[in-house]
Structure 1
Amino acid sequence: MSPWNGVLPAITTAFNADLSIDHGAVRAHVNWLVSRGCTGIIPCGSLGEGATLSLEEKVALMRTVVGAVKVPVIPGIAALSTAEAVRLAKAAEDAGCAGLMVLPPYVYSSDWREMKAHMAAVLRATKLPCLLYNNPVAYRTDFTPAHLAELAAEFDNAAAVKESSTDARRVTGIRALLGDRLALGVGVDDCLVEGVEAGARFWVAGLVNAFPDESVRLYDLAMAGKKEAAFALYRWFLPLLRLDTVTKFVQLIKLVQQEMGWGHERVRAPRLELVGPEREECLRVLREALANRPAL
């Protein structure tokens, strides 16, 4: 099964009251997502609060997800140092993961020579197919189509790109330069329809954690070219999908999950649970969406 198709939830990480990982809740959640049509699972990403998880916790989380589902598991590989990213990549392969989502360093950001060296070290460390994660908004590192072409030319296991620049033109730019060499995916929730129209073929999604039925349906309609139906569902979904594109996206999505009966709004510091007007506005958006929720 190719991991580069369909809806791939970047899952939140469920925490117990003491903020240890709630592995039982994780197992139940990923099973539910797969039962609703999701085609893979991505733990340890930004939405999964990967920056607050130790290496040991990440490996334990990977093993929990691999043991829970039969679809590809593609963990985020992100670390402060290249050496730790390499250790994490090797551990993911040992844990039975099907691929890796490789991030640039998320604190130190410099020039392409250094960023390429980091990515190359991870790609050399594993035989698994790798999803190259471009998110200049969050990480201040921009993998241009030319940069992606360099990695694709040198590493056979550079297999796909998660394009999260929020610019749908990047998808067409990558296609123009690389053809079908890299599978293309949309990495922000509120650019799915535009990305598919430009040539993307999978969706690394966030609000899917609470709304898998609508997410899978939207993806299917977009891929089938049913534009009118896709935009009707998209129009309803966009206020929720936009929660994925702001600084407190983790808190917002976890709150929505909690309200929908899947998970808890607990987050690890430095994040704090939402309070006051921010929390009320999120709940207002959710209430309005539920009041007008379309039949699928």
Structure 2
Amino acid sequence: MWQGVIPAVTTKFNEDGSLDIGEMERCFALQMDAGCDGLIACGSLGEGPMLSHDERLEVLRVAKRASGGKPALLTVAEAATRDACALAAKAAKAGADGLMVVPSTIYHSNHKETVATLRAVAQAADLPVMIYSNRVAYRVDVTCDMLEELADDARFVAIKESSDDIRRSTDIINRLGGRYDLFTGVDNLAFEALSVGAVGWVAGLVVAFPKETVAIYRLMQEGRQREALDIYRWFRPLLDLDVSTYLVQNIKLAEAMAIGSNERVRAPRMPLEGETRARAEKVIRTAMEVRPQLPRFD
């Protein structure tokens, strides 16, 4: 159902902390102009947990307008299943094309609880769902056993695999074939995941470097792995910025340097400073100085 590069977009703020609708419209349009295949609003990178439900729905509406008919998904990541279901229902009414759903972000649910939560959210919205499995950040692993159990509900259409173990991608395909659209959710494992059968990439650094991200994906689809790998090797130091406690600040800094956006984040986050900032700036600046010329692709 879904495939390709789908950015997990950042949320933009004005100086007073309110949503900067105009800047989001500009930045989201850059993603679509580069050939991205949809947008995901208010995930971890989009600071979703720091936003009210109303704010998240507003970001979704901006993404929906920008996506040009391609899928615009809202991330549902709540501590309580009741709140997740309420947001899911609101997202459906607001025109979401689907949801990316994270199990409880506070309580680390067991197998039975995780499956029940995912089923409840899918039923509340009655929309296609991308299951987000990230045992590293959220400590809830949506395993192959769970995916097999959930496979009887056609609303579960995709899995964003972020276990940080590339073997899991092959495990999912071996167990379930093409039942789920398999997306990689770890930027610095994207080439590896696409090599073993992932059909999509929920990307982070794409928001600052959309053309390079799309090029890697499209070249891989055309069987031009050598050319894709050359770009990926250039990209890797940047992609490593996504795998960090400071991924939001890192990537917003990259946006500021690469596309002229801003670094505003919502507290308790603060923009990078000191040595942490200097290291990130060096990575970004060095990459921009040797930015590759992209080959033509279909």
TM-score (norm 2): 0.96
Distance (whole Å) between structure 2 residues aligned to residue 88 and residue 262 of structure 1: 32
Distance (whole Å) between structure 2 residues aligned to residue 249 and residue 142 of structure 1: 21
1:65 lines up with 2:78 in the alignment: no
Deviation at 1:252, TM superposition (A): 0.2
1:206 corresponding residue in structure 2: 204
Tell whether the 8 Å contact from 2:32 to 2:66 is kept in structure 1 after alignment: no
Distance (whole Å) between structure 1 residues aligned to residue 260 and residue 203 of structure 2: 16
Amino acid at match of 2:216: L
Distance (whole Å) between structure 2 residues aligned to residue 54 and residue 93 of structure 1: 17
Deviation at 1:193, TM superposition (A): 1.0
Tell whether the 8 Å contact from 2:91 to 2:125 is kept in structure 1 after alignment: no
Structure 2 unmatched runs, 5+: none
Amino acid at match of 1:166: D
Q: Deviations over 1:127-166 (max 9, x none)?
A: 211000000010000111111111112x110101000112
Distance (whole Å) between structure 2 residues aligned to residue 123 and residue 246 of structure 1: 30
2:105 corresponding residue in structure 1: 106
Q: Deviations over 1:210-266 (max 9, x none)?
A: 000000001112222212111111110000001001111000000110111342111
Specify which of 218, 221, 242 is matched with residue 220 of structure 1: 218
Aligned residue for 1:289, secondary structure, equals helix
2:115 corresponding residue in structure 1: 116
1:265 corresponding residue in structure 2: 263
1:252 corresponding residue in structure 2: 250
Deviation at 1:116, TM superposition (A): 1.5
1:149 corresponding residue in structure 2: 148
Distance (whole Å) between structure 2 residues aligned to residue 248 and residue 52 of structure 1: 15
Worse overlay, 81-90 or 234-243: 81-90
1:166 corresponding residue in structure 2: 164
> 1:61 and 1:288, CA in 2 relative to 1: closer, same or farther beyond 3 A?
same
Q: Deviations over 1:169-209 (max 9, x none)?
A: 11110111111111100001011111011110000000000
Distance (whole Å) between structure 1 residues aligned to residue 172 and residue 277 of structure 2: 38
Tell whether the 8 Å contact from 2:103 to 2:109 is kept in structure 1 after alignment: no
Structure 1 unmatched runs, 5+: none
Deviation at 1:78, TM superposition (A): 1.1
Distance (whole Å) between structure 1 residues aligned to residue 149 and residue 268 of structure 2: 36
Q: Percent identity?
A: 44
1:282 corresponding residue in structure 2: 280
Aligned residues: 293
Aligned residue for 1:75, secondary structure, equals strand
1:140 corresponding residue in structure 2: 139
Distance (whole Å) between structure 2 residues aligned to residue 276 and residue 55 of structure 1: 34
Tell whether the 8 Å contact from 1:103 to 1:132 is kept in structure 2 after alignment: yes
2:235 corresponding residue in structure 1: 237
Mapping 1:26-65, distance limit 5 Å: 26-65=24-63
Aligned residue for 1:125, secondary structure, equals helix
Distance (whole Å) between structure 2 residues aligned to residue 181 and residue 67 of structure 1: 30
